[in-house]
Structure 1
Amino acid sequence: MLDFPLWKKIWLWVLTLVAVAAAIPSLYNATGGEWPEGLPSPTVNLGLDLAGGSHLLLEAESEEVAAQRLENMEEAVRAAMRNAEPRIRIGDVSTANGELSFMLDSAADIDRARGILEPMMQGQNLVREWDLSVVDTQRMVLTPTQGGTENAVNDAMESATEVVRRRIDELGTREPTIIRQGDTRIVVQVPGLEDPEALKELLGQTAQLEFKLVDENALITNIQAGIAPPGSQIFPYAVGSDFEGQSVAVKRLGGIRGDSLTGAQSGIDPETNEDVVNIQFDQQGGQKFAQLSTQNVGKQFAIILDGEVLSTPVFREPILGGSAQISGSFTAESANNLAISLRSGALPVPLTVIEERTVSAELGQDSIQRGLIAMLIGSLAVIALMIATYGRFGIYATIALFFNVLILLGIMAGLNTTLTLPGIAGFVLTIGAAVDANVLINERIREERKRGRRVIAAVENGYKEASRAIYDANITNFIAGVLLFLFGSGPVRGFAVVLIIGLFTSVFTALTLTRMWVSGWLRAKRPSDINV
């Protein structure tokens, strides 16, 4: 175990120095300096409790989920009845009172219609999402069940949480804390962002993109009065568009939603020199868009974003490539923000900011200083005790402790992790764990010498026997750290990250580096006795 060939020593020193080098930019920035831009700069990000930042509490409008489910079911029912062989004709479709009801033209189609609809009533995990009933022999009524509604809201919130996370990452921020709170709320914490207005604007945009045909038969007077023709609905033009303050009637069903988008990039229209957003559909969405444009050449269609019409261009020719362009009086910034929203996906439910807090960085700086003071005092006390107790071996343990902190910081910087206030506690705990490993090793060497073993044999057996206890203890702590990381959130995960990385660096420095140094000293000096 004390045999360290030259290649192994070189490898261990290179590994150690690379990790130490990765820690230098973070240490340099911590002193108030600015790291040169041309050099690699892996840095440890500071959490909200250390760097300050923004805290937002978002609440979902769950009623929108129920309304969207109702519209989706209506479209699915119409398609199912239309595609039945022979076709089942329906009419007098209503979505009043949160229910979907329709009248069959013939009472003889009741059983056949029920057979088609029954499979559509069942959701995931065998949860029945809709109840089906027949009223007055010919009217079928579909009522959403409570379990189905709860599942839909839960799925929407899970999806919304992921969309929020993708949007914040697109902004260039690092390690935000995004967690659900209760059934309909999401907590967002973004370190280092003290002006949350841009974040609020981006998160407040649902980004529900739709392409719907304009109802060209609608009367302007009716639209101005807010009266939509049967089968149509009225949307206002967006602020800043060419027709701001006006509204337009569009066909309610038969359009295309933006959930089939695969890409969105801001750009410039070479013909008009206007800021636009170029979008790409997936295969299915591209086919639907091609079919819609082919069947409606010469007709207007509305590009609707979050209930507002951006523009109403005309299908001049079939669009077959699966790509399209969105225009609507954009600026470069608004076009880029829309592209970010579309790339990250539409929020399945609108979110409203109900609580906003800005945390000052001064509080975090105070926490850092106090944490560093605590770590410094603890380290000095441990170093004094180790050197006084174990002499030369205590010096080796002290140097290993120094490298342990630097390597830990370097690995965190390389992984671009975030340091929180509990993470500083993890640093202090790591120091204790590293010293504990050296104590076990040195005490074991003492025992071997008391048994009469020679110096090299005592040192070799001391490392060998102590390593078993060290591995057992660290494996237990590693399991605990992984569980904290998997099931914790925010500060708990910050503590778990430092703990897990610290376990590996402690074992590496306490067992491997000190053994290499002790081995080199023993082979160079070959002492007849050691003071441990």
Structure 2
Amino acid sequence: MLQIDRWKRILIIGICLLGLAYAMPNLFYKRVEAHNDAVASIEKTGVTTPELDAARGAWPGWLPNGLVNLGLDLRGGAHLLGEVQVDQVYKARMDALWPELRRALAEERATIGAVRRVPAPDGTLAIEIGTPDQIARATEIVRGFSEPVTTLTGTGQSSLAISAQGNTITIGLSEAEKAVTDDRTIQQSLEIIRRRVDEVGTREPTIMRQGEDRILIQVPGIGSADELKALIGTTAKLTFNPVTATGSNPDAAPGLGQVVLPAADQEGVYYTLEDSPVVSGEELTDAMPSTDQNGQPSVDFRFNPTGARKFGAYTSANIGQPFAIVLDNQVISAPVIRQAITTGSGQISGSMDFEEANRLAVLLRAGALPAELTFLEERTVGPELGQDSIDAGRIASAMGFIAVIALMVLSYGLFGVFASVALTINMGLIFGVLSMIGATLTLPGIAGIVLTIGMAVDANVLVFERIREELRTARGPARAIELGYEKAMSAIVDANITTLIIAAILFVLGSGPVKGFAVTLTIGIVTSVFTALYVTRLMTVTWFERTRPRQIEV
């Protein structure tokens, strides 16, 4: 019997209405986008302005407000390909290891003699002892700082490669430890870049690893590649170093374990600092833009318990001595310690405006990049080009949509009209699902939607052709329609499952654009099967119940 239960009808209609409701905000894209941005800004800052109120009120809060995010090629934005200088991490590891080794070796000064660091290539630590015949004992102490590498490929290896010759011990990272360090550095860089980009409210950035030491960054909606580089290209490495001397000669030769750095806001002033910091930005827990006692822009920061303890101990022992705050190899402030600072908090002030103070706070909150990022490729996609892509996609979709509808109506008459209405609902459901999951639409994604328009009526064609065959043998049109849907089901399922398998392979093995195509294709397959088997059938059954024709033409 040709019928559909009432609960099934309610469910089908409900799914269609829900999908179309979630797709509707995309018809008012700019208004809804302004509403979402205003709501996010008010929630984040707690500050409301007339402009924000107007933007928030431009779209009813009780309606869905999810949008299909536009990718870089549709919205315009910036594209960067950066290479992480992992060698810098090796040097930092050796520099951090030296103070610990110096203390451990100094405890046995009576046996091994005086200990000093001698020049060595970056990433290598060379230590000279005073008693050459005790080199074995010194090497044994150094080996105590080496740890097993915990990865599967590094099983049985140590973290340090140690060699001794004469009275000199040379220390570096082992190859297994370098591989682990490289992977950790890239992952840390990815996370820090993602936090920095997300903090400024950009939409759906693409941040992914490419190769062994490269990172691809694509941020839609940002003004230029230079603006993006200003945000993520800064290492934002904050350290607090003891000051040993102040002068005006940038070429002054520092002592071993020291470095000469310029003042950020005083031209011609250079500071000689201890290379090993007392506290680093990694021990910061928070940073917020603020104002100093003179009402000038500044940044307030707070250390974690470990950093607060080290900061308090140093300031207690060095009252009256200058102390440098270093950001990206520039001394932004070198105050004299007036009293012990045991609260674990402080303030950075200097020649900065409020925008720079806010950006510095963002960078410090996100953390320092573990190594410098060198940009190998940069590209800015203008919004005009993105709009051209959107317009071209609309034209392609409209032409395909009209052609499919014309073919279906001419081929199947009233049943073709049902299929065309279902195709319209199908397009709405695709955008509704994309909006619900917060997907990003790119040009390949539009290609997937255009392909879906052509494929969406395949199931209807199979059903209608099967109904035509059944009309020759079945007892009446109702039975022919019922058998048409039943016998076409296996072919429809087979065809769409194979396409879903291909889409899954594209998603797993493909890069960003290919993944976008696979996502829209997968959603389109699911929604087209739903509309062909249920929405079209519901319309056909409803029409048949009202008209009760004795004969039908398909």
Tell me if both proteins adopt one fold, taking TM over 0.5 as the criterion. yes
Q: 1:226 to 1:4 in 2, by over 3 A?
A: farther
1:236 to 262, 270, 290: 262
Q: Which residue of 1 aligns with 2:59?
A: 39
2:275 to 245, 252, 264: 252
Among candidates 52, 59, 73, match of residue 76 of structure 2: 52
Secondary structure of 1:97's counterpart equals coil
C-alpha change, 1:12 and 1:283, in structure 2 (3 Å) is farther
Partners of 1:2 and 1:515 within 8 A in 2: no
Shift of 1:210: 0.9
Alignment correspondent of 2:44 = none
Aligned residue for 1:326, secondary structure, equals strand
In 2, distance between residues paired with 1:353 and 1:484? 29
Deviations 1:139-198 (A, max 9, x none): 321144455445544543343233333322323222233344554443433333343332
Root-mean-square deviation over aligned CA pairs: 3.6
Higher mean C-alpha deviation, range 499-508 or range 477-486: 477-486
Q: Which amino acid aligns with 2:59?
A: L
Question: Which one-letter code corresponds to 2:287 in the other structure?
Answer: A
Distance 1:473 1:291 in 2: 72
The answer as to whether partners of 1:81 and 1:113 remain within 8 angstroms in 2 is no
Cα displacement string for residues 401-421 of structure 1 (whole angstroms, at most 9, x for unaligned residues): 001112212332344432221
- 1:303-348 C-alpha deviation (Å, 9 max, x unpaired): 1111111112345555455443322332111111112212222112
Secondary structure of the corresponding residue to residue 478 of structure 1: helix
Question: Cα 1:15–1:297, aligned 2, differ >3 Å: closer, same or farther?
Answer: farther
Q: Which sits farther off after the overlay, 325-334 or 101-110?
A: 101-110
Structure 2 SS opposite 1:245: coil
Distance 2:489 2:303 in 1: 57
Q: Which residue number corresponds to residue 49 of structure 2?
A: none
User: 1:69 pairs with 88, 93, 96, which one?
Assistant: 93
1:90-169 equivalence runs, <5 A: 91-98=115-122, 99-104=124-129, 107-108=133-134, 110-111=136-137, 113-114=139-140, 117=143, 120=146, 122-125=148-151, 126=154, 129-136=159-166, 138-145=167-174, 148-149=177-178, 151-169=180-198
Give the TM-score normalised by the residue count of structure 1: 0.85
Indicate the residue corresponding to 2:506 in structure 1: 484
Mapped partners of 2:551, 2:528: distance in 1: 28
Q: In 2, Cα distance between the equivalents of 1:83 and 1:453?
A: 102
Q: How does 1:264-343 map to 2 (within 5 A)?
A: 264-269=287-292, 271-343=293-365
The alpha-carbon deviation at position 399 of structure 1 amounts to 0.6
Provide the residue aligned with 2:455 in structure 1.
433
**Separation (CA, whole Å) in 1 of partners of 2:438 and 2:119:** 51
Check conservation: 2:250, 2:262, Cα contact below 8 A: no
Deviates more, 1:161-170 or 1:150-159: 150-159
Whether the aligned pair in 2 keeps the contact of 1:481 and 1:496 (CA below 8 Å) is: yes
Amino acid at match of 1:55: H
| Structure 2 CA distance for partners of 1:255 and 1:194, relative to 1, 3 Å | same
1:500/1:315 CA distance change after superposition, 3 Å: farther
Does structure 1 residue 213 correspond to structure 2 residue 233?
no
Q: Which residue in 1 is equivalent to 2:204?
A: 175
Q: Which moved more, 1:107-116 or 1:156-165?
A: 107-116
Go from structure 1 to structure 2 and tell me whether the alpha carbon gap of 1:393 and 1:274 turns closer, same or farther (over 3 Å shift).
Answer: same
Between the aligned partners of 1:14 and 1:82, the Cα distance in structure 2 is 77
Q: Measured at CA, do residues 109 and 97 of structure 1 come closer, stay the same or move farther in structure 2, by a change above 3 Å?
A: closer
Change (3 A) 1:314 1:469: farther
What is the rounded CA distance, in whole Å, between the counterparts of 2:247 and 2:70 in structure 1? 58
Amino acid at match of 1:246: V
Return the alpha-carbon distance in structure 2 between the equivalents of residues 150 and 34 of structure 1: 45
Give the aligned residue type for 2:351: S
Offset, 1:287: 4.0
Give the percent of matched residue pairs that are identical in Structure 1 and Structure 2. 41
Gaps of 5+ in 2: 36-53
* 3-state SS in 2 of match to 1:376: helix
SS of the counterpart of 2:202?
coil
User: What is the identity, as a one-letter code, of the residue corresponding to 1:133?
Assistant: S
Aligned twin of 1:19: 19
After superposition, the C-alpha distances for 1:11-45 in whole angstroms (9 at most, x for unaligned) are 543442343233334334599x9998320654333
Is the 8 Å Cα contact of residues 76 and 381 (structure 2) preserved in structure 1?
A: yes
How far residue 96 of structure 1 moved from its aligned partner, in angstroms, is 1.4
Q: Report the secondary structure of 2:299's partner residue.
A: strand
Q: Which amino acid aligns with 1:135?
A: Q
Report the 3-state secondary structure (helix = DSSP H, G, I; strand = E; otherwise coil) of the residue aligned with 2:261: strand
Q: What is the CA-CA distance between 1:428 and the residue it aligns to?
A: 1.0
**Residues 71-118 of structure 1: CA deviation (Å, up to 9, x unaligned):** 133245346557899998761113412321213456557347426526
1:267 CA drift (Å): 2.2
Amino acid at match of 2:378: E
Partner amino acid for 1:77?
Answer: L
Deviates more, 1:57-66 or 1:77-86: 77-86
Is the Cα contact below 8 Å between 1:223 and 1:249 reproduced in 2? no
1:266 aligns to what SS in structure 2?
strand
Mapped contact 1:177–1:188 kept (Cα < 8 A):
yes
Query: Distance between the aligned counterparts of 1:352 and 1:197, measured in 2?
Result: 13
Cα distance in structure 2, aligned partners of 1:301 and 1:102: 28
**Contact 1:81/1:89 (8 A) holds in 2:** no
Give the AA of the match of 1:376.
A
C-alpha contact 1:293 1:319 (8 A) present in aligned 2: yes
Q: Give the superposition deviation at 1:261.
A: 3.0
**Map of 1:494 onto structure 2:** 516
1:491-530 CA distances to partner (integer Å, 9 max, x unpaired)? 2222122123222322332223223323333444444444
How far the C-alpha of 1:213 sits from its partner, in A, is 2.5
- Does the CA contact (< 8 Å) of 2:105 and 2:115 recur in 1? no
Q: Give the CA deviation at 1:424.
A: 1.3
> In the superposition, relative to structure 1, how do residues 83 and 476 fare at CA in structure 2: closer, same or farther (>3 Å)?
farther
Structure 1 residues 83 and 374: alpha-carbon distance in aligned structure 2, compared to 1, 3 A threshold: farther
Counterparts in 2 of 1:430 and 1:116: CA distance versus 1, 3 Å: same
SS in 2 for 1:340: helix
Segments of 5+ residues of structure 1 without an aligned counterpart are none
